[in-house]
């Protein structure tokens, strides 16, 4: 057990709320600050992408005994369903039999997490704006406006779980030797909706993550418990087929009729939602260090904001908590060491999942529509089923394992080089399931 | 002639002062703000590296008819002088006969530029802290403290020439879709000094940039008019042979005696200066966009801070002004277009000189001590003298030409690939000046 401290967590999102539960269970007094109102009291923003919870996320909930009640809010998706114009649906399983990622509404999960934290005795301060932090003594500065009078709130320790545009990090950025980058994609996103059938059933297969890949843009849909799907349209801000180009009702309808004909009947509120919901940006943010002495630490998106295409933003943030908690067990009250080891351990993995997420953007929007890519996936799957100890596909290592993301990236690169050679084999589309292909892979695996 | 505007320039450094002169000459009313006192009234900081002014810098002064009086402050350096332990001095010419870079004291030049700007009618506001800017209406917010009461100062246009840690950029960073990165080297630097001889002459060859390359660290010395040299020690912050490791007088003296024996007699104030002068950091900062509508623009280090190893920070900043001025001539009062074209034209070049500067760090601290590298330079020089239309060495293209930095980087990469092949030739050290080598290079140049 650690010596009880007075700890502030800035940000009541998923990572902030779960971290608060962990800290409370470890015996600390925990205050959570958020500039927004209590999410349980407000309507959702219309700019959310459903979560895809996988192994790493579940483990962090499991360790606190929370996964059972969260599973009730989740719908398993064991495959991608690829929608191409004029072709039958194509299903691509994510992993082995029984392996799924889980669709959860971000807003509903966040409400649940706040309630769970409150039940633990965590105290929440909503609509309280943290403008700055004094790093040396973990004092938060709050107030109505940035330029107005501020209150000082002293703590033993502060966690910045306040997301990609973290104020806590903002102060750390002004320290010497603080490395930092933020890079926006030229692609943005918008939330749309497929409502449930009148009988409450889903209009599309509910155990799939649906993708309409169209090269430079794509639509995805993830199921909700109420029979609806939350859809996300990803497309460039400018140029042909961009958010800018879809400026009126008729252009929008014509665009969807041409590129997403299968959605025309299932997205009835297209026009209303498209022009009502905001167009949001996508940013990759990296920084280092993540901690200041034993006083301040960044966690989740505040330390590593990634693009959403691997569905790992929340999973990576929850894994931050898992690792932090392991180090708390290991080093007790030596918070300096805990923080140092935490950032050293997590940074390469955060960088790796950032890279993997960016690459999955390319894969999802274009490669999932490519016959050669699908064949490659089939070869990989076959080989990995036959030689499970020799080949864990990249997606499975990221999603259905607890191996470090950095290892997944490195081994994934090696596997890609091997598959590039395999795909060059003569008549590969005919002999893809032959012993010759197996032997080729085995031989390449043995080549250093 | 442009319609006269009321323009604020934030930052009275080299780029800010010269930009102010350009804007004043173009008919505008110009106010320059700086949080520091007038540099003409204070002692220098002891953390400066001498400038190496080259073609791009001179051109920006020439265009305003200022280069003649600045040349009086400059000492030409036509070569590197490489100091290796136990070996004679090795001289490496920078370019062709008559081509030099020019050593100038940053502080003295800055004083001069401020006086020149003042003589033009530019108004300076020293010790005036700009905390924020409202981008939409180019209003500066100044005040004693960040949290205290602020004054608003409205302008038609604001230039942020306030360096690597620009407050103007700081506001732009908080705009959506603003890409930004800052990355610190693990190497820092410290200013030292070689005083003049009693008769006012230089203790080392005054027309050389002196380098003591020692792999992970290096010392350089640039001449001053008064017979002294400003030295800069670059070394890692931590580890063996680092700023951290040189913690006392005796360790420091032993270190210099071992690695820089030729300096022991010429740096008499080593111990005093080393422990008095600050250890400074080195950062590469990139961002985009650089402008906001026709209201605010970043320039110089505020938009592209680079490491100093190519001596091009000031030269690149001055070239920003040259290009901006050309666009002002071309587009008249259409400042939106001027700003758009300015940032589009300069960004790839700023990225290129950032990359080249980083690479020159590697070259200076280690390769300049390498016999093979010196041979390669000799081959390049010989070939370029024989075929000047076919081969302009990278250093010359960067330093003694006005060709875009981005072109220099691209052609330099191609030249490197060619030289890598040439250096693999059998007995290259014996036949380096043969027709066979010439023909090999000619042939490789013709290979697409």
CB contact under 8 A, A182 and B184: no
CB contact under 8 A, A183 and B181: yes
Distance from CA of A164 to the nearest CA of B (A): 12
Label residue A158 by pLDDT band (50, 70, 90): very high
Which residue of chain B is at minimal alpha-carbon distance from A183?
B179
- Chain A / chain B CB contacts < 8 angstroms: 33
pLDDT digits (tens, 9 = 90+) for B252-275: 999 999 999 999 999 999 999 999
Label residue B84 by pLDDT band (50, 70, 90): very high
A332 token code pair: 């007790």
CB contact under 8 A, B150 and A150: no
In the sheet with A151-154, reading across from the earlier edge strand, the strands are A130-134, A139-142, A151-154
Q: How much is the pLDDT for A49? A: 81
Q: What's the CA dihedral at A346, A348, A350, A354 to 10 degrees?
A: 180
What is the architecture of the domain spanning A6-73+105-184+283-360? 3-Layer(bba) Sandwich (3.50)
pLDDT > 80? residue A1 = no
Q: How much is the pLDDT for B15? A: 98
CB contact under 8 A, B176 and A184: yes
Which residue of chain B is at minimal alpha-carbon distance from A149?
B147
Can you tell me the distance from the alpha carbon of A97 to that of B396, in angstroms, rounded to the nearest whole number? 63
Q: How much is the pLDDT for A48? A: 77
* For chain B, domain boundaries: 6-44+53-73+105-181+284-360, 370-446
Residue B91 pairs with which residues in a beta bridge? B81
pLDDT digits (tens, 9 = 90+) for B89-123: 999 999 988 999 999 999 999 999 999 999 999 99
pLDDT > 90? residue B47 = no
Distance from CA of A183 to the nearest CA of B (A): 5
CB contact under 8 A, B182 and A177: no
Residues of B at the A interface (Cβ-Cβ below 8 Å)? 147, 150, 173, 176-184, 281
Portion of chain B with pLDDT greater than 90, in percent? 90
pLDDT digits (tens, 9 = 90+) for B162-198: 999 999 999 999 888 999 999 999 999 999 999 999 9
Can you tell me the distance from the alpha carbon of B287 to that of A165, in angstroms, rounded to the nearest whole number? 17
Q: How much is the pLDDT for A408? A: 96
CB-CB neighbors (< 8 A) of A176 in chain B: 184, 281
Q: How much is the pLDDT for A273? A: 95
Label residue A37 by pLDDT band (50, 70, 90): very high
The ipTM, to two decimals, is 0.82
**Mean per-residue pLDDT for B211-235?**
95
**Mean per-residue pLDDT for A120-144?**
97
B118 token code pair: 């003042």
| B147, B173, B183: residue with CB nearest A179 | B183
pLDDT > 90? residue A354 = yes
Q: In angstroms, how far is CA B219 from the centroid of its own chain?
A: 17
Average pLDDT value for chain B: 95
**Mean per-residue pLDDT for B300-318?**
97
What is the architecture of the domain spanning B6-44+53-73+105-181+284-360? 3-Layer(bba) Sandwich (3.50)
**Mean per-residue pLDDT for A421-436?**
94
pLDDT > 80? residue B24 = yes
Can you tell me the distance from the alpha carbon of A256 to that of A266, in angstroms, rounded to the nearest whole number? 12
**Mean per-residue pLDDT for B59-77?**
97
B3 token code pair: 């319609």
pLDDT > 90? residue A374 = no
Distance from CA of B133 to the nearest CA of A (A): 13
Q: How much is the pLDDT for A211? A: 94
pLDDT > 90? residue B370 = no
Can you tell me the distance from the alpha carbon of A419 to that of A415, in angstroms, rounded to the nearest whole number? 6
CB contact under 8 A, A179 and B182: yes
Which residue of chain A is at minimal alpha-carbon distance from B165?
A174
A14 token code pair: 């998923």
- With residues binned 3-state (H G I as helix, E B as strand, rest as coil), the percentages for chain A, rounded to 5, are 40, 20, 35
B235, B251, B255, B253: which is closest to B243 by C-alpha?
B235
Do A57 and A104 contact (CB within 8 A), yes or no? Answer: no
First and final C-alpha spacing in chain B: 47
| A150, A179, A182: residue with CB nearest B179 | A182
A435 token code pair: 């012993």
Q: How much is the pLDDT for A141? A: 97
Portion of chain A with pLDDT greater than 90, in percent? 90
Residue A79 pairs with which residues in a beta bridge? A93, A208
CB contact under 8 A, A179 and B184: yes
CB-CB neighbors (< 8 A) of A179 in chain B: 182-184
Q: How much is the pLDDT for A371? A: 86
Angle between helices A14-25 and A313-331 (to 10 degrees): 20
pLDDT digits (tens, 9 = 90+) for B393-432: 999 999 999 999 999 999 999 999 999 999 999 999 999 9
CB contact under 8 A, A181 and B184: no
B261, B309, B305: which is closest to B285 by C-alpha?
B305
Query: Containing H/E element for A299?
Result: none
A171, A157, A211: which is closest to A336 by C-alpha?
A157
Q: Are strands B187-194 and B229-236 parallel, antiparallel or unpaired?
A: antiparallel
pLDDT > 90? residue B362 = no
Can you tell me the distance from the alpha carbon of A120 to that of A115, in angstroms, rounded to the nearest whole number? 9
Do B247 and B253 contact (CB within 8 A), yes or no? Answer: no
pLDDT digits (tens, 9 = 90+) for B313-333: 999 999 999 999 999 999 999
pLDDT > 90? residue B340 = yes
In angstroms, the Cα distances linking A238 to A241, A243, A247, A259, A307 are: 8, 6, 11, 18, 19
Q: How much is the pLDDT for B212? A: 95
């Amino acid at each position: 057990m650690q010596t009880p401290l007075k700890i502030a967590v800035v940000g009541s999102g998923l990572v902030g709320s779960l971290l608060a539960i962990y800290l409370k269970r470890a015996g600390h007094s925990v205050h959570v600050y958020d500039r927004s109102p209590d999410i349980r009291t407000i309507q959702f923003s219309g700019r959310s992408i459903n979560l895809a919870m996988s192994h790493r996320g579940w483990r962090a909930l499991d360790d606190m005994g929370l996964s059972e009640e969260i599973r009730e809010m989740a719908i398993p998706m064991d495959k991608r369903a690829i929608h191409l114009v004029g072709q039958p649906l194509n299903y691509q399983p994510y992993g082995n039999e029984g392996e799924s990622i889980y669709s959860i509404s971000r807003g509903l999960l966040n409400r649940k997490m706040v309630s769970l934290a409150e039940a633990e005795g965590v105290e929440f301060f909503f609509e309280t704006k943290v403008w700055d932090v004094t790093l040396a003594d973990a004092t938060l500065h709050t107030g109505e406006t940035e330029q107005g009078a501020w209150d000082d709130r002293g703590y033993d320790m502060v966690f910045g779980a306040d997301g990609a545009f973290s104020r806590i990090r903002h102060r750390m950025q002004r320290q010497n030797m603080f490395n930092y980058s933020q890079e926006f994609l030229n692609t943005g996103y918008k939330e749309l909706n497929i409502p449930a059938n009148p009988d409450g059933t889903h209009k599309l297969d509910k155990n799939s993550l649906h993708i309409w890949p169209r090269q430079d843009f794509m639509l995805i849909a993830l199921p909700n418990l109420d029979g609806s799907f939350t859809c996300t349209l990803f497309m460039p801000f400018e140029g042909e087929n961009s958010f800018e180009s879809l400026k009126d009702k008729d252009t929008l309808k014509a665009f969807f009729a041409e590129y997403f004909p299968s959605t025309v009947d299932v997205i009835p509120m297209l026009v209303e939602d498209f022009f009502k919901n905001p167009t949001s940006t996508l940013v990759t943010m990296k920084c280092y260090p993540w901690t200041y002495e034993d006083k301040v630490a960044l966690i989740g998106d505040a330390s590593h904001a990634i693009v959403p295409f691997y569905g790992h933003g929340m999973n990576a943030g929850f894994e931050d908590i898992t690792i932090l908690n392991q180090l708390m067990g290991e080093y007790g009250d030596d918070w300096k060491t805990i923080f140092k080891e935490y950032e050293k351990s997590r940074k390469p993995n955060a960088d790796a999942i950032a890279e993997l997420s960016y690459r999955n953007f390319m894969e999802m929007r274009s490669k999932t529509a490519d016959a050669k890519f699908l064949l490659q996936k089939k070869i990989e799957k076959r080989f990995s089923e036959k030689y499970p100890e020799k080949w864990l596909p990249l997606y499975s290592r990221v999603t259905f394992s607890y191996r470090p993301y950095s290892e997944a990236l490195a081994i994934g690169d090696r596997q890609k080089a091997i598959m590039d050679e395999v795909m060059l084999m003569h008549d590969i589309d005919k002999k893809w399931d032959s012993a010759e292909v197996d032997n080729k892979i085995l031989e390449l695996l043995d080549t250093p």
